[in-house]
Chains A and B, each alone.
Chain A
Amino acid sequence: MNFEKRKDLLGLKDMSREEIELILDTAVPMKDVIRREIKKVPALRGKGMITVFYENSTRTRTSFELAGKYLSADTSNLAVSTSSVQKGESLKDTIQTIEMMGPDILVMRHSMSGAPHYVARNTRMRVINAGDGTNEHPTQALLDMFSIRERKGTLEGLKVAIVGDILHSRVARSNIYGLSKFGCEVRVVGPSTLMPPEIERLGVRQYFDLKEGISGVDVINVLRIQRERQHAGLFPSLEEYAELYMLRPEHLELAGDGAILLHPGPMNRGIEISTELAEGPNTLVNEQVTNGVAVRMALLFLMMGGRRDEIAA
């Protein structure tokens, strides 16, 4: 199969298991490309890709940009903070302007849920959602799934706990949608005020108690907690949050044998994760970053009409 029928990648909610598998499988040889001395394949030569980030980001934007470059695409970045957006240009006009310059792929991050969906309806470019508001962050979930699969050999039947601010997390949502399609048992762990309404109807189990939530799991995915949430009155203090939800080495022992730990970064050490654990052997944080480039290469390649068998492992 290939991606011929797919114009955009807006989320994992509406993506099939087969499509996800294809991306993950294609990312395996892509990771080898990154490790080569000469990190360049001609797959996307002559294709243009632009990243437009309405929210700050270092790793995701750079990751997409390098992924494009390793595939020989011409990449460019619109620095929103210094662009005509600051002169009051509408999203629609900005996107149309970019489109007229001819790129094939638009990688977009926006603070508002559904903004990429709106853009996708209004452009001929292929749109990749690099995170929209509190909705989805599909490539983060894909790289998480790739990292888990690489370490565990499979996704099938694994127990995965996602810990933190589930309510505001696009990473959590995309992970829930993706992992559920592979028969994973997904748990969400965090304070009751940071749980989305009726979250269990997505087929996950919620836990307010960290130890209970992570006991016996294969994977712990720790989310970043944002200080603004405290100001909104959602929890009393970062100190109390850390007391209740900070992952420490002893927690990994509670989880299953060989449990691994993920974090989408950037980490708040001493708040949601202890330094000892952040640097521990079962923590995949750095591996995730490399895998992120590989997964994004696979995605760009497939979206531009590439086939899995064209990339030699």
Chain B
Amino acid sequence: MRLLLKGGRVVDPANRINTVTCVLVEDGKIAAVGAIPGEEGDTSDTEVIDCTGKIVCPGFIDLHAHLREPGYEYKEDILTGSRAAAAGGFTTICAMPNTNPVVDNGAVAGYVARRAREVGIVNVLPIGSITKGQAGEELSEMAELVQAGCVAVSDDGKSVMKSDIMRHALDYARMFDIPVFSHCEDINLSADGEMHEGFRSTVYGLQGIPAEAEEIMISRDAMLAKLTGGRLHICHVSTMGSLEIIRRAKAEGIRITCEATPHHLTLTDEAVGSYDAVKKVNPPLRSEEHVAALREAVASGLIDCIATDHAPHHIESKDCEYGNAAFGISGLETAVALVMDRLVHTEVLQLSKAVALLTSAPARILGIEKGTLTPRRAADITIIDPDEVRTVDPRRFYSKGKNPPYKGMQLRGWPWMTLVAGRIVFKEGSVMEMKL
């Protein structure tokens, strides 16, 4: 079974390809990229897909998604999360461990990996917790987690507040060469905060979360990464000061990478003024100067990759008083459109740079053989229609989380087709599931 993707602009940043050409897929793997010999000839066993006007990229990778299973299936599960990923153009997603039970042992990690294989829509890579129960007290059994398929560890949702435990985590993780994904938030400083602290928190009368709550922890973790030589990845970086700390740490040779989310790159804290809880997220939407700094940093390469922090919630947790609402944005199905519309079409980012931030860059952080169209690699491919204009309609989401802050927003540039290991999992607006 051969599949020929013909006539699209192929953008494969890792292989420095950015041209109109063909991609040939054979037996689930990339067979060739370029002018295909005999392409005009015998095509009887080759399905040809006309990609004219489309952008053909390596499959997108999301380092940061909350799939909620096991434990919170009313918010999302591995099936609906996988569908949402496919519809959003993602072929590989990392599942955060703040489930119930927490992914802090091989059995739970194995469950997530196995369930994802059963569902079989996209690649789901589990992330284990740094500490048992994400309680911040004792390290999880990392060897067991890695053996069960975990590609990183994280206590995402909160910081490991004890510096000694975080030190040991970064140190111990070195033995498995996995990155430690750090949610940076000094919880004593963020306390009961509900939005970014600044002029607008004064005007809206909401409790503020100072930028420093994030920056202090990034500083600490960068120092601990230096001390231990561990690999540190900063989740959802959101402030100007954080970027400066990361820039200095990188210059010093500390092993540190970071991600930014589409919402922090495109929305400001002004959005919170309506007290609409779909805008409530942690870290909070920041003010203009922070957003401008983030946009500059994705363009300059200081920010290593874009990740969604897909945080689906049940409607009751969002259709309520702002103060009672849960933090989080359902992001898988709007990420690519936001990047295209708000960053690529507005020329903040070049197309090939944007693709790199969603493919080769996250693959490099995980150290996995994905994110490129290199021959013999699994044919994970995302095809974008850069000119499709569509209005964000959460009712059409595959995710159970109908809580995007972009409802009604018109965006240009959407995923058109998603292939995982050569199989089409999303086309013509629909997720295609394996017939079991």
Q: Does A201 contact B (CB under 8 A)?
A: yes
Q: Does A59 contact B (CB under 8 A)?
A: no
Q: Which of B75-83, B197-205, B216-224, B347-355 is found at the contact surface with chain A?
A: B197-205
- The answer on a CB contact under 8 Å between B204 and A135 is yes
- The answer on a CB contact under 8 Å between B202 and A202 is yes
The residue among B197, B206, B274, B321 with the most chain A CB atoms within 10 A of its own CB is B321
The residue among B197, B203, B206, B274 with the most chain A CB atoms within 10 A of its own CB is B203
Q: Does B176 contact A (CB under 8 A)?
A: no
- Across the interface, name the chain B residue whose C-beta is closest to A117: B275
B residues 164-203 touching A (CB-CB < 8 Å): 194, 197-199, 201-203
Answer whether A115 and B322 are a contact pair too, CB < 8 Å, given A90-B316, A134-B207, A135-B206.
yes
Q: Mark A129-140, 1 if CB is under 8 A from B, else 0.
A: 000111110000
CA distance A115 to B321 in the complex (A): 5
- Across the interface, name the chain A residue whose C-beta is closest to B208: A197
The smallest beta-carbon distance between B234 and chain A, in angstroms, is: 25
The smallest beta-carbon distance between B298 and chain A, in angstroms, is: 27
- The answer on a CB contact under 8 Å between B202 and A196 is yes
The residue among A114, A136, A196, A199 with the most chain B CB atoms within 10 A of its own CB is A114
Contacts of B319 in A (CB 8 A): 92
CA distance A251 to B201 in the complex (A): 32
Q: Does B324 contact A (CB under 8 A)?
A: yes
- Across the interface, name the chain A residue whose C-beta is closest to B210: A197
The smallest beta-carbon distance between A116 and chain B, in angstroms, is: 9
The smallest beta-carbon distance between A306 and chain B, in angstroms, is: 29
- The answer on a CB contact under 8 Å between A91 and B320 is yes
- The answer on a CB contact under 8 Å between B202 and A198 is yes
Q: Does B429 contact A (CB under 8 A)?
A: no
CA distance A103 to B295 in the complex (A): 49
CA distance A134 to B198 in the complex (A): 15
A residues 137-161 touching B (CB-CB < 8 Å): none
Contacts of A199 in B (CB 8 A): 202
Of the residues B197, B208, B276, B321, contact of A112 by C-beta under 8 Å: B321
The smallest beta-carbon distance between B277 and chain A, in angstroms, is: 8
- The answer on a CB contact under 8 Å between B275 and A198 is no
Q: Does B101 contact A (CB under 8 A)?
A: no
Of the residues B199, B275, B276, B322, contact of A197 by C-beta under 8 Å: B199
A residues 145-191 touching B (CB-CB < 8 Å): 170, 173
CA distance A31 to B320 in the complex (A): 38
CA distance A197 to B211 in the complex (A): 13
Q: Does A110 contact B (CB under 8 A)?
A: yes
Contacts of B367 in A (CB 8 A): none
Of the residues B198, B199, B201, B321, contact of A114 by C-beta under 8 Å: B321
Q: Mark B240-279, 1 if CB is under 8 A from A, else 0.
A: 0000000000000000000000000000000000111100
- Across the interface, name the chain A residue whose C-beta is closest to B206: A113
- Across the interface, name the chain A residue whose C-beta is closest to B275: A114
CA distance A197 to B207 in the complex (A): 11
CA distance A118 to B275 in the complex (A): 7
The smallest beta-carbon distance between B368 and chain A, in angstroms, is: 43
- The answer on a CB contact under 8 Å between A114 and B323 is yes
- Across the interface, name the chain B residue whose C-beta is closest to A54: B321
- The answer on a CB contact under 8 Å between A113 and B204 is yes
Q: Does A13 contact B (CB under 8 A)?
A: yes
Contacts of A118 in B (CB 8 A): 275-277, 320-322
- The answer on a CB contact under 8 Å between A114 and B206 is yes
The smallest beta-carbon distance between A47 and chain B, in angstroms, is: 27
- The answer on a CB contact under 8 Å between B198 and A197 is yes
CA distance A210 to B219 in the complex (A): 38
- Across the interface, name the chain A residue whose C-beta is closest to B199: A198
CA distance A152 to B204 in the complex (A): 31
CA distance A197 to B276 in the complex (A): 22
CA distance A204 to B194 in the complex (A): 25
CA distance A111 to B202 in the complex (A): 16
- The answer on a CB contact under 8 Å between A112 and B324 is yes
CA distance A117 to B206 in the complex (A): 13
- The answer on a CB contact under 8 Å between A133 and B323 is yes
The smallest beta-carbon distance between B8 and chain A, in angstroms, is: 44
- The answer on a CB contact under 8 Å between A13 and B203 is yes
Contacts of B199 in A (CB 8 A): 197-198, 201
15 A-B interface contacts by CB (under 8 A): A13-B203, A92-B320, A110-B321, A111-B323, A113-B205, A113-B322, A114-B323, A115-B321, A132-B205, A133-B205, A134-B206, A135-B205, A135-B206, A136-B205, A202-B203
| Pairs A-B, 10 closest by C-beta atoms | A114-B275, A135-B205, A112-B323, A196-B202, A198-B199, A113-B205, A134-B205, A115-B321, A112-B321, A117-B275
Beyond known contacts A113-B205, A118-B320, A197-B202: 20 more, CB 8 A cutoff: A91-B320, A92-B319, A111-B323, A113-B194, A113-B204, A113-B206, A113-B322, A114-B205, A114-B206, A115-B321, A115-B323, A118-B322, A133-B206, A134-B207, A135-B205, A135-B206, A197-B199, A198-B199, A199-B202, A201-B202
